[in-house]
């Protein structure tokens, strides 16, 4: 990978990373993911010329290197991928840091993430809960508009106590 970057062979590298392949061996899969984690360094070398390829890769795999690269671009079109990464324990800190940089621009996306249960609330997955909690915590940091509070009010009764507490904090902050 470094050799391809040194040769400015980014097209070959992008083609390799985007090629569909099933890696059955868990050790080999970890190795593949480790290579992709080098992505941000390579993107800096490529001077951001391949944001489309990074977005394509993010559609199929949420990996720390990809999230770091997307966060470094600072483009609005990366927000949905960064919000999706809030569900992943490894990627969450990088996604949160990138979303903070957008400031109030991410309010709507965070509002949607905080209020959307996936699957339905009776069987909500742990990753969905993590995404919703993180989105609410970011909304507390960024702040909400007064007209947003009614959309979040029902979360004070959420089955997840952490979500309910975060919603109560937002209530106390609301004008």
Q: pLDDT for 79-130, tens place per residue?
A: 999 999 999 998 999 999 999 999 999 999 999 999 987 766 678 889 999 9
pLDDT of residue 32: 67
The pLDDT, as a whole number, for residue 166 is 96
Query: Does residue 5 surpass a pLDDT of 80?
Result: no
Say if residues 91 and 62 touch (Cβ distance below 8 Å): yes
What are the extents of the domains in the chain?
1-73, 96-175
Higher pLDDT, 170 or 72: 170
The larger pLDDT score, comparing residue 158 to residue 36, is at: 158
| CB contact burial 55-77 (16+ within 10 A = b; e otherwise) | bebbeeebbbbbbbbbbbeeeee
Alpha carbons 172 and 143: distance in angstroms, whole number: 12
Query: Looking at residue 149, what is its pLDDT?
Result: 85
User: What gap in Å lies between CA 60 and CA 42, rounded to an integer?
Assistant: 19
pLDDT, tens digit (0-9, with 9 covering 90-100), for 13-59: 667 666 666 667 777 766 666 666 665 555 555 545 567 777 777 88
């Amino acid at each position: 990978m470094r050799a391809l970057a040194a040769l400015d062979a980014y097209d070959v590298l992008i083609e390799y990373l985007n090629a569909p392949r099933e890696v059955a061996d868990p050790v080999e899969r970890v190795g593949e993911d480790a290579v992709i984690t080098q992505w941000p360094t390579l993107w800096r070398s490529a001077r951001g010329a391949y944001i489309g390829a990074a977005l394509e890769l993010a559609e199929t795999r949420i990996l720390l290197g990809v999230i770091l690269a997307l966060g470094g671009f600072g483009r609005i079109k990366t927000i949905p991928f960064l919000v999706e990464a809030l569900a992943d324990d490894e990627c969450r800190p990088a996604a949160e840091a990138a979303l903070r940089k957008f400031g109030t621009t991410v309010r709507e996306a965070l509002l949607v993430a905080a209020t959307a249960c996936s699957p339905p609330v009776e069987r909500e997955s742990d990753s969905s809960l993590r995404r919703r909690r993180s989105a609410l915590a970011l909304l507390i940091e960024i702040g909400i508009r007064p007209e947003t509070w009614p959309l979040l009010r029902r979360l004070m009764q959420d089955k997840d106590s952490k979500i309910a507490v975060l919603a109560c904090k937002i209530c106390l902050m609301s004008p």
